Amino acid sequence: MQVKIPTIKRGNSAYAVPSLSHTVGNVTFKFTKMLKEMFGKGFYKYVHIDSRMAYTEFMRHDDREFIHKNKPILAIKPTYDILNEDIFMTHALLTTNMYGFDYGTGQNIMPLFRDPEIGNSLGYMLDRIRVSLGVTILLDTYQEQMNVLGTFNAMYNTEQPYYYRTAIEIHIPHQFMDMISLDKGIPIYDQNGSVEKFLSYLNMNSCKPITFQMKNSNGHEEFFMYYPLNIEYMFTDLDRGDPEKKGSAYTNAPISFILTTEFNYAQLFAYNTPPESSSIRETIVGDVIVPDFKGQELIVPMFTYDNMFEPLDSNGWKYFTSRMYKVDESGVPDILDVSSLFESTNIQDVLDYQDQTGQDNHMVLSVRVQMAGVELEEGKDFEFDYREMKLTTLKTNDKVTYRFTIYVNNEYINDIMVKLHPEEFIHN
């Protein structure tokens, strides 16, 4: 579901807030992942995010595990705060809209995108948000509780700030993409259904990477600002609950604490059109779009690479592309057509050669898929059709984000192209 955001226009400027549910979900996911890995991979048998904030776990468990709730259990209740005056930079000039939206006056807009050729620009205003995670760890025995509490106490000091250098992807209101597309005359999707030309134009004129979530058969595309940042976090209220007994055996030994995070984010995006542009008038009706926030009170778990994308993989193959995507329905195989990503490349010539010579296509491309940060296994969790260029996700959960990354064996491809088209590589 594409997020509809209320938009205010003033003259040749338009203003809209990004989806806060994406930002809160992104940070909640990162720290949930950190807590899951604190005691080693696979320590927790069940992870639950409070249903009042997010109606599903970030990772799906089978029904039997859900019913029995095998311990250890990690239970998290996220809350957010943007109004507390104790938050750093609250009411500062940098983060406060002091003079309203009258033709952009008084705005402290940070640059994101500018096309000097036509004179349009997209920027954002900073703010700081606090996301707190109420955490409970449920263990089976008193002995487990002692060991976990001792390990935690050795790793962290309560009431002490720590810093997590990472990155999040902040949702850009889609109507701004529509306006930029109209003003530049580059459609978001070209005649082949590819967004590559428009996305390339955005990134050639932006000071931070702009990323993209591919649309599936029932969904819509979304654009994001890749935003590196330091997240400040602190553990407080560490408490060891009294173990519960049934007869002479312990059945439930809890540990609880609060993990509080603070970080900068984009509270507002502002778009300035070129002179005489009509894109605002054509994109929104009147001064305000009536928003549709149905379902958006729930956090949207996102998976963002901390260091964007490595230029080479472990085999030395070159990075080609990466995209986020979502599936339509849990438990049902989902097909994503990625053929538009390979237009204007020689990949089909190389794959034809592979078929004719009986070579494995895995020598050409390396396709990796991650579901909420967990690497999926090709053949078991996903399949990739090299001829049709379609990615079939077999392990599907419609409540999480996926990301595929493609690396190409450039050296091998170049060798094949020399064999196929020697005339292009002969210099007189």
pLDDT tens profile 380-400: 999 999 989 999 999 998 888
397 shares a domain with 270: no
Q: Cα 183–187–192 angle (5° rounding)? A: 165
346 shares a domain with 219: no
365 shares a domain with 251: no
Q: Which residue has the higher pLDDT, 270 or 98?
A: 270
Confidence class of residue 86 from pLDDT cuts 50, 70 and 90?
A: confident
Cβ proximity of 53 and 298 under 8 Å: yes
322 shares a domain with 279: no
SS3 292: coil
In which domain, by residue range, is 365 found?
A: 318-425
Of the residues 261, 283, 305, the one at which a domain ends: 283
> Measured between alpha carbons, how far is 194 from 201 in angstroms, rounded to an integer?
13
371 lies in some domain: yes
Total tally of structural domains belonging to the chain: 2
257 shares a domain with 345: no
In this structure, what CATH number is given to the domain that contains residue 412?
A: 2.60.40
234 shares a domain with 337: no
Helices (DSSP H) in 185-278: which residue ranges? 196-204
Stated pTM of the model: 0.82
Mean pLDDT lowest among 39-43, 142-146, 318-322, 351-355: 39-43
Tell how far CA 243 is from the center of its chain: 38
Tell how far CA 34 is from the center of its chain: 16
71 shares a domain with 176: yes
pLDDT digits (tens, 9 = 90+) for 315-357: 889 999 899 998 988 899 999 999 888 887 888 889 999 989 9
98 lies in some domain: yes
SS3 396: coil
